Amino acid sequence: MLKNWDNTKKVNVFILSTIIIIVAAFMLFSPSGIINRILLTKKQKELLQQIDYEKKIQDSLLKTIDVLQNDTLEIERIAREKYGMKRPNEKIYLVPRK
């Protein structure tokens, strides 16, 4: 009788441990598991940082667009610096850069 109970206990322990292993594996490695959750959270943080960076660039570009649409002095400065334009009867002196 005692030997039969030991076998039953061993079978129950084996079945229980198998179920626990399967559940743990599912919780860790399934698409909605812990490992995937950690990876997705990390990816989300990276994407939020990228969004913040792109918003800063967008704000800078919008300010530049506003300045170029409304400030004639800025347009003149860019035309002189980048394109070498000048006013009539104006002399340009080029200073070499080091």
Domain count, the chain: 1
DSSP class of residue 94 equals -
pLDDT at position 20 is 92
Q: Is residue 5 part of a domain?
A: no
3-class state of residue 29 by DSSP: helix
- How crowded is the C-beta side of 5, counted as CA atoms within 13 Å? 2
Angle between helices 34-70 and 72-83 (to 10 degrees): 100
pLDDT at 95 over 60: yes
Band of pLDDT at residue 12, cut at 50, 70 and 90: confident
In a domain, 2, yes or no: no
Q: Is 17 part of any domain?
A: no
Q: Name which of 98, 66, 94 is nearest 80 in CA terms.
A: 94
- Structural domain includes residue 4: no
Residue 65 has pLDDT above 90, yes or no: yes
**Does residue 57 sit within a domain?**
yes
Parent domain of 50? 45-84
Rounded CA separation 12/16 (Å): 6
Would you say residue 62 lies in a domain? yes
Q: What is the average pLDDT across 26-44?
A: 87
Structural domain includes residue 39: no
* 2: pLDDT strictly greater than 60: no
Query: What is the Cα 2 distance to its own chain's centre?
Result: 63
Domain membership of residue 60 (yes or no) is yes
